[in-house]
Structure 1
């Protein structure tokens, strides 16, 4: 029996419409789609157990968010943050150096747009896109758990300080202090995404077509031309990160296992409100198998950031096949 089957159907009828937005909330807090799903399930269990005591003094949505936030705070106790390679504090790497894999680190994970709501509803996706950008979620990981909760509740969900204080069982003064420190930290880290363009614009669509063609033809010179001057390439679980088109081109040209044109194929998807691709690598038996998931930052002047995830379990979560 699943958790949902064990819960009262009347409760699920009322609570289930909030499941996807609660998943996004837990993802912002946890930095992992796996952990976020666990916390949503725990939220529903706690809410169902306490439903008889729900007095209706706040909306059901607010009540569920309060439970979800505290569920995440409990889960985060004693856990280290989930970084990307750029968040480890080391300078950019030399593409000529050996790749160093760090599987002991719990890395930040992407989330599929399809998990967040109706991708065909622009109103839904604009809200989700603005609040789950990969750079923002990575920046949130630099905050303490309570700072993270306060920032998300105040700046993303637009709760009043008094509502946050009640949810976290603290004072308004403490909430304002946590928010001030959290905003200062985020501003210092500086995730700048104001110049990202919508994936639906013609310029973005052309850039993405060129990205696919350049990789599938394994044309490193063409790949280099797509990146902005300060572009970043990173690929957990490898700890290095690379800055600048030339460094990225050298990395792809020397470390990529592709054996020539046709070795790679890309399927489009979307992650964190951003364009993404499942990349498949041709193996000796001639079959293209899942290799990396690319999440892109697209600007008017080119691609400014690519994060490549080697966690192959992500392909199923994005509705992508394991092989072509």
Structure 2
């Protein structure tokens, strides 16, 4: 019997798994990658008697390999908040999927665990820009304003580390970051004592300062679009900077386009926080696009499609 933990390399995926393994500790084979690396089940070879836990990767993008694993006799437990497509019916598949804009995978795991490690779920929600839910949960737990800010920083910095074209862009590989987290049941101890957290925090602030120097390429009352250069800092910061812009301008939609080495753009879209919808609908119109209602992206937008994307983005949020 083998255990596989398959998880997105962002804050939501990592902290969802961290909660589960605090509650259900056992050794497992870790399968993860950068945030945009979501077709992860193709890397899993499991069969009868094996157990696969999947966290925060779209079922729609993994359905063929999911069916393969189920046919081979593996048992699969699936937690996610992205558009799933058609969910297979199988006795060995157990899904907890909710695409509401106000939840993330870590919050689904928090519900499954009946709140045993809610502080980690709150950190993940902050990292995934589920701000209202995170704040509400933190208040319900009676956390102080400084404690809430610590959880926000943890989620933001872990989420920030997941962005990049490849692992070389990251400060630390997501599986190694998860292994580091395993030593900490308390997020406040992690923030106070772990050197890696200080490294991520310092890197985040440095990269965000560079992003703030970039002016929008196209902006109006409803939307703003930014184009970032092909650098490691811009690849790391694109998602979290989009979250920061959304918080700063809650009635405006934002698109961050990062130049790719071979041409074209990697796209991150954030819906207005006042709307929290439409990002997935927009990005699904383009090959390689996907995500959730409030935050979505396109892995490779050809340069020839830039004007088409800008027009579609502005039309989406002029309503």
Instruction: State if a TM-score over 0.5 links the two structures.
Output: no
TM-score, normalized by length of structure 1?
A: 0.32
Q: Which has the larger radius of gyration?
A: 1
